[in-house]
Amino acid sequence: MDLLKGCIISVVLIIVYWFLWRWRNKRVLMLATQLPGPTALPILGNALMFMTKPEEQLKKIAALLEQYGDYIRFWLGPDLVIVIKDPNDIRCLLTSNKMNQKGPAYDYMTPFIGKGILTGGPKWRVYRKIANPSYNKKSIETFKDVFNEEAEALTNVLKRRDNNIFNVYFDVLQCTTRSVCRTLMGLSTDDIAELKYLDEVIHETQNIYSLIFTKMTRWWLQIPFIYWLTGNYRKQLYYQRIVDGLITEIIEKRRKSLSNEENYGVSVVDRFILNGLSETEIKLESFALFTTSQEASAKIASGVLLFLAHLPEWQTKVYEEIVQVMDDDSVSEEQIRGLENLDMVYKEVLRYLSIAALIQRTVEEDVTISNGKFTLPSGTVVAIPIHEVHRDSRFWDEPLKIKPERFHPENQKNRDPNAFIPFSLGAMDCLGRVYATTLIKTIVIRVLRHVELSAEGKLEDLDLHVAISVKFA
């Protein structure tokens, strides 16, 4: 009897809460009805629709876009989510000063990188302003020698490979990691050799991302007890421990160098130290920039090499262009700018393998879209499905095929430039876009000068793994 009474009281309280919530949010509900989208259940909203495998959730969004068009509305419990696929509205929203906070999905990354440059938060502008000089063109010019040396080392590794099939990503990841350590982290080669946790962090990086994405997309893991019971919290603590160990070592080495006035203030870690950030802030922001710089660069660089291996005619074009432009092996920024064919392949990789499959922003003030037709109320979560925009047949001829020629200047004239946003837009765009582009192209140029690439099968037949980013499965 007591159990029945408790159940009845619970149901009544839930119903009362639901009606109170609807009354308090009647304006938001009214504005939400203006947008198309699936019917929402009381309290749960459309959450049941997304109770599926993580890799299926973005497919659900793609299906909704196919059904409803460029604007769709759905509810995840009390949270209103608006997915927007129209390129012009995407540009307006991402460059608006009314949307300078990330969405709730980024909160799942905070145990590793805190509230900062990548995830948003109250001080993200401060952190970005401090880090920015390490990513500008002047700084990247000083990184040229390191990029060339590490790309040469990678080339020598690949030259020693036999003719058996192998995954080039892991060799490239070693190259990009050492490049990031020697530039953004400010370490010497001797410093790198002394890092006890570096190899372990490199090995576990994909597992860290997988843990974050799994918790992000499986609601039951967001219940602390279940997260602990399934062993995922124990994994998280282990990952946090090795990440903290690595970054602590890096910071200690930079503090020692700064006290001796060695390489004064060049690395991004130095800038965080010299600007008086707390030890926790330095660790979180340093790892955020470390992991995004080395992992994303490795994914795209290995993607370019894989594309060239599968497209021998483009490999020949790029190789001949490199030989024509370059006098020796050392790669400069001026030479990179002259390699048009390489740029086309690079951009097609960015289109096909989006660095971020979907990004979120939170509306801080009411904003209108679709020429004033719809109003997004404050507090709305806006989702930008970059992966889907990059595969929209309105802007891309045969979007599921790999065609670098689509980025030839003549073929881009009639395409909406806002349909290609690999590095996002606005104040919260990718800080490392110039850094990554220079490093990736340097790697490809140095490798292609001395290694002929080949692969079996067709690129389009390779399965894609769509999660935080898009990569081949």
**Residues at the annotated binding site?**
430
DSSP 271-287: HHHHTT--HHHHHHHHH
The rounded distance, in Å, linking the Cα atoms of 289 and 277 is 15
Place of tokens 């090995």: 203
Beta strands in 233-373 (DSSP E): 359-362, 367-369
Q: How far apart are the first and last CA of the chain?
A: 54
φ, ψ at 422 (rounded to 5°): -65, -25
Contacting residues for 134 by C-beta, under 8 A, at least 6 apart: 184, 266, 267, 268, 271
The burial of 3, by beta-carbon neighbours within 10 Å (0-12 exposed, 13-18 middle, 19 or more buried), is given as exposed
Which of 278, 276, 184, 195 shows the shortest CA–CA distance to 243? 195
Q: Count the alpha carbons within 13 Å of 252 in the hemisphere toward its beta carbon.
A: 10
Structure tokens at 378: 């404050």
- Reported for 151-159, long-range contacts at CB under 8 A and 24+ positions apart, including other chains, are 151/175, 151/331, 151/442, 151/443, 151/445, 151/446, 151/447, 152/329, 152/446, 153/178, 154/443, 154/446, 154/447, 155/446, 155/447, 155/449, 155/450, 155/451, 158/447, 158/451, 159/450, 159/451
What angle is formed at CA 422 by the lines to CA 170 and CA 353, rounded to 5 degrees? 45
Which of 56, 63, 103, 106 shows the shortest CA–CA distance to 79? 103
The rounded distance, in Å, linking the Cα atoms of 110 and 281 is 12
| Contact predicate 293/180, CB 8 Å | yes
| Contact predicate 150/182, CB 8 Å | yes
Position 282, amino acid? I
Task: For residue 381, count other CB atoms closer than 10 A to its CB.
Answer: 19
The rounded distance, in Å, linking the Cα atoms of 311 and 458 is 9
Binding site for heme, by residue number, is 430
Which of 471, 456, 451 shows the shortest CA–CA distance to 161? 451
| Contact predicate 432/183, CB 8 Å | no
The rounded distance, in Å, linking the Cα atoms of 439 and 296 is 11
